[in-house]
């Protein structure tokens, strides 16, 4: 089985070694990873005065861990911290990280899953090891203990132990017997090193370290890094990269929630996604990441877009764009399903992976499978240095800064914009005319200001959310380019207003079964801008009204006739049909966020969810 082979989600890792002996630094960094979702937290610190490692754990929020830390008042370096979301073993202090060996000599934090932990645990118990938790992670601490010898460097024991492990891991490890170092290791879960003068950090996410340094090294699979107070080394030399966003980007900046902040950043996300990437007078998209494979792309006869969750809905819009305008056969595949299909791929197929984090396990595995079959592999990601960027042949960055809220918003509109640019890039290689290329780019250039007009209706949309908050079921309908937006609207309700059940379907499919659900207690959100299938959407709305369903319509400015069908209307500015999803999704994001707040829910960290799914 692949290293990315079982169900898990993305927990948070922070490690520090250097001149600062106050672990409060680590707790502050850990807070910047709260958006990933977690149920417990912990810290382990080497205290030089006592020559021992002190460990604290707490179930629940980081506040609980901080209370314990304030009472304990210890200092030291190195220190490692972790936020955990339970996979093996229920949420509890015993199951929280860091975990240690029998002698309380080795402490470690871990993201990922150890697939063969049961076999390893049984063997270690037979050898006399005593376990204190139900987790798969604790096996690693005892396994490293098994290979440790007096005077031996910690990294040697780690290397021997990891040879026995099957699964996925990002690790930060410290030892009382070899105290002036952190050993970090990676396989299948993201891990980066922060490089600064007289101090080094290790983290699962740039958000944890960007306030200390923007110089980072991204570990590759099967690499082990050793950090000391004044130096570091890795098994092979790695280039230093630069994080392209500021620490302020990962703060709320006056908004009550990251989700709201990021929705209101969508106009800027559109602008950042397209600026410098359009040659208007020539009707060309300038995508440096794709230019290096331009000749290969000219020979491509088929595109497979692979993505999961919200990114898959962006990919579905891209499927329509590529086929209608670039005249290239395209299919959207869900990453978790694609992995287990015997997909027909060859050297005339390009596989495009779409992922905000660049770490989505199923999408990453799809790329690896496509490479094995000789495909040109491309990436559309937001995170520099992520696993997908390193596995693909070429690609395009969103470059919109961090997205902290669990539910994606600004990354989604960025993905849509870049897919439109790729459409022009591919189309102009083929049959797309100069006039068509220019028109698409000119309309793209207008979108940031058009998006601001939609967000200016936020108070009205907030009132609508309050009005509809009494309902517990919603239906979303769309067709063609806006069918994926119906899916996205329903998903956002399910994610951040999770007390509400929501479904979505193509409007033309409703009469094949789903219409049985409609009554006065089942409101329907209809996405019906003036476009090629507007009249078909009106027919669907008539069918809803005939069953006494309430309708919230999203349509183009100036459409007055729709008021005879809809109970409420949100207007969006006119644009090209292929670009309407970039505008029509904005009110749906706001509507879901305000509904979640109306229901008293944490819209940044919905229950049972985390930002990135890094293991299947």
Question: CA–CA separation, 70 vs 603, rounded Å?
Answer: 29
Confidence at residue 45, expressed as pLDDT on a 0 to 100 scale: 96
DSSP-derived pairing of the beta strands 223-228 and 182-187: antiparallel
Contact criterion met (CB below 8 Å) for 85 and 41: no
Contact criterion met (CB below 8 Å) for 2 and 604: no
Question: CA–CA separation, 596 vs 395, rounded Å?
Answer: 35
Question: CA–CA separation, 32 vs 244, rounded Å?
Answer: 17
* Fold equal for 12-243 and 258-451: no
Average pLDDT, the chain: 89
The percentage of residues in the chain with a pLDDT greater than 90, rounded to a whole number, is 62
DSSP-derived pairing of the beta strands 223-228 and 231-234: antiparallel
Residue 440 has pLDDT above 90, yes or no: yes
CATH class of domain segment(s) 12-243: alpha beta
Q: How do the residues of the chain divide into helix, strand and coil, expressed in percent and rounded to 5?
A: 40, 25, 35
Partners of 227 in beta bridges: 182, 232
Positive or negative: CA dihedral 398, 404, 409, 412: positive
Residue 10 has pLDDT above 70, yes or no: no
Q: Which among 145-159, 202-216, 500-514 has the top mean pLDDT?
A: 145-159
Confidence at residue 198, expressed as pLDDT on a 0 to 100 scale: 82
Greatest C-alpha distance within the chain:
82
Structure tokens at 493: 């309700």
Which helix (H) or strand (E) segment holds residue 175: the answer is strand 167-175
| Count of Cβ atoms closer than 10 Å to residue 380 Cβ | 29
Structure tokens at 38: 């977690």
Range 3-12 average pLDDT: 47
Residues 459-598, CATH architecture: 3-Layer(aba) Sandwich (3.40)
Q: Which has the higher per-residue pLDDT, 549 or 280?
A: 280
Residues 258-451, CATH architecture: 3-Layer(aba) Sandwich (3.40)
| Count of Cβ atoms closer than 10 Å to residue 355 Cβ | 33
Q: Helix, strand, or coil here: 517?
A: helix
Structure tokens at 433: 């005319």
Instruction: Give the residue from 402, 341, 339, 403 showing the smallest Cα distance to 366.
Output: 339
Structure tokens at 210: 């960007």
Catalytic residue, candidates 410, 494, 605, 611: 611
Q: What is the pLDDT of residues 395-422, one digit of tens each?
A: 999 888 888 888 889 999 999 999 999 9
* pLDDT-based confidence at residue 6 (cuts at 50, 70, 90): very low
Partners of 8 in beta bridges: 615
DSSP per-residue string spanning 365-431: HHHHHHHHTT-EEEEEESSTT-HHHHHSSEEEE-------SSS-SHHHHHHHHHHHHHHHHHHHHTT
Q: 13 phi and psi, to 5 degrees?
A: -120, 135
Residue 90 has pLDDT above 90, yes or no: no
Range 550-556 average pLDDT: 95
Residue 445 has pLDDT above 90, yes or no: yes
Instruction: Give the residue from 614, 594, 311 showing the smallest Cα distance to 461.
Output: 594
Confidence at residue 141, expressed as pLDDT on a 0 to 100 scale: 96
Partners of 551 in beta bridges: 524
* Lowest model confidence (mean pLDDT) among 145-154, 204-213, 425-434, 486-495: 204-213
Question: CA–CA separation, 274 vs 400, rounded Å?
Answer: 11
Q: What is the pLDDT of residues 457-515, one digit of tens each?
A: 999 999 999 999 999 999 999 999 999 999 999 999 999 998 999 999 988 877 787 77
207-242 in b/e burial notation, b at 16+ Cβ within 10 A? bbbbbbbbebbbbbbebbbbbeeeebebeeebeebe
Residues with Cβ within 8 Å of residue 486, at least 6 apart in sequence: 476, 477, 478, 504, 505, 506, 525, 527
DSSP-assigned letter for residue 219: P
Question: CA–CA separation, 10 vs 190, rounded Å?
Answer: 9
Beta strands (DSSP E) in 518-589 are 524-527, 551-556, 568-572
Question: CA–CA separation, 290 vs 428, rounded Å?
Answer: 13
Question: CA–CA separation, 351 vs 367, rounded Å?
Answer: 7
Question: CA–CA separation, 598 vs 462, rounded Å?
Answer: 9
Residue 611: active-site member:
yes
Whether pTM exceeds 0.85 = no
Confidence at residue 300, expressed as pLDDT on a 0 to 100 scale: 94
Residues with Cβ within 8 Å of residue 128, at least 6 apart in sequence: none
Range 580-589 average pLDDT: 97
Catalytic residue, candidates 11, 375, 398, 526: 11
Residue 377: active-site member:
no
Contact criterion met (CB below 8 Å) for 46 and 53: yes
Range 55-77 average pLDDT: 90
CA 486 centroid distance within chain = 20
Kindly list the domain boundaries of the chain, sorted by start residue.
Answer: 12-243, 258-451, 459-598
DSSP-assigned letter for residue 480: G
CA angle 539, 545, 549 (to 5 degrees): 125
DSSP-assigned letter for residue 188: B
Structure tokens at 531: 């476009």
The residue with tokens 């440096």 is 288
């Amino acid at each position: 089985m692949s290293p990315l082979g079982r169900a898990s989600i993305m927990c948070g890792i922070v490690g520090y070694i250097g001149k600062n002996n106050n672990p409060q630094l680590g707790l502050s960094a850990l807070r910047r990873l709260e958006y990933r979702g977690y149920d417990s937290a912990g810290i382990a610190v080497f205290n030089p005065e006592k020559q021992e490692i002190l460990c604290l754990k707490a179930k629940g929020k980081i506040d609980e861990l901080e209370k314990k830390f304030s009472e304990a008042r210890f200092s030291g370096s190195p220190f490692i911290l972790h936020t955990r979301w339970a996979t093996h073993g229920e949420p509890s202090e015993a199951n929280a990280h860091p975990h240690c060996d029998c002698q309380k000599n080795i402490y470690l934090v871990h993201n990922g899953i150890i697939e063969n932990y049961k076999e390893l645990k049984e063997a270690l118990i037979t050898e006399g090891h005593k376990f204190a938790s139900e987790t798969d992670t604790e096996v690693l601490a005892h396994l490293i203990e098994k290979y440790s010898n007096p005077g031996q460097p910690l990294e040697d024991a780690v290397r021997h132990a990891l040879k026995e492990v099957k699964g996925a891991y990002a690790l930060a490890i410290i030892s009382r017997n070899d105290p002036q170092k952190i050993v970090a290791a990676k396989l299948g879960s993201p891990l980066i090193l922060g490089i600064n003068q007289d101090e080094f950090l290790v983290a699962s996410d740039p958000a944890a370290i960007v306030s200390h340094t923007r110089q980072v090294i991204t570990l590759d699979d099967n690499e082990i890094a050793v950090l000391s107070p004044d130096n570091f080394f890795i098994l092979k030399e790695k280039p230093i990269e630069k994080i392209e966003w500021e620490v302020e980007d990962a703060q709320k900046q006056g908004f009550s929630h990251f989700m709201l902040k990021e929705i209101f950043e969508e106009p800027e996300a559109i602008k950042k996604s397209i600026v410098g990437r359009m040659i208007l007078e020539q009707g060309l998209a300038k995508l440096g990441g794709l230019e290096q494979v331009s000749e290969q792309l000219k020979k491509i006869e088929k595109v497979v877009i692979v993505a999961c969750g919200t990114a898959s809905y962006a990919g579905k819009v891209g499927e329509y764009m590529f086929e209608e305008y670039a005249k290239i056969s395209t299919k959207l595949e869900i990453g978790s399903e694609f992995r287990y299909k015997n997909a027909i791929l060859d050297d005339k197929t390009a596989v495009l992976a779409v992922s905000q984090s660049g770490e989505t396990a199923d999408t990453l595995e799809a790329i690896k499978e496509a490479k094995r079959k000789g495909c040109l592999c491309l990436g559309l990601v937001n995170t520099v240095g992520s696993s997908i960027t390193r596995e693909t042949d070429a690609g395009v960055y969103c470059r919109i800064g961090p997205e902290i809220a669990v539910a994606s918003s600004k990354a989604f509109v960025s993905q849509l914009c870049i897919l439109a640019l790729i459409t022009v890039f591919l189309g102009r290689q083929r049959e797309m005319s100069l006039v068509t290329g220019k028109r698409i780019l000119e309309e793209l250039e207008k979108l940031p200001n058009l998006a601001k007009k939609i967000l200016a209706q936020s108070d009205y949309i907030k009132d609508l959310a309050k009005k509809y908050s009494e309902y517990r079921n919603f239906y979303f309908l769309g067709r063609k380019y806006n069918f994926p937006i119906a899916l996205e609207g329903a998903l956002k309700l399910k994610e951040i207003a999770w007390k509400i059940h929501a479904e979505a379907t193509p409007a033309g499919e409703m009469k094949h079964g789903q219409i049985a659900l409609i009554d006065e207690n089942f409101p329907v959100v209809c996405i019906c801008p003036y476009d090629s299938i507007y009249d078909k959407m009106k027919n669907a709305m008539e069918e809803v009204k005939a069953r006494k369903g309430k309708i919230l319509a999203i349509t183009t400015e100036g459409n007055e006739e729709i008021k005879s069908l809809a109970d409420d209307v949100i207007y969006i500015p006119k644009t090209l049909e292929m670009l309407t999803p970039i505008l029509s999704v904005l009110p749906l994001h706001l509507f879901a966020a305000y509904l979640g707040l109306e229901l008293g829910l944490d819209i940044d960290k919905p229950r049972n969810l985390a930002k990135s799914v890094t293991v299947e």
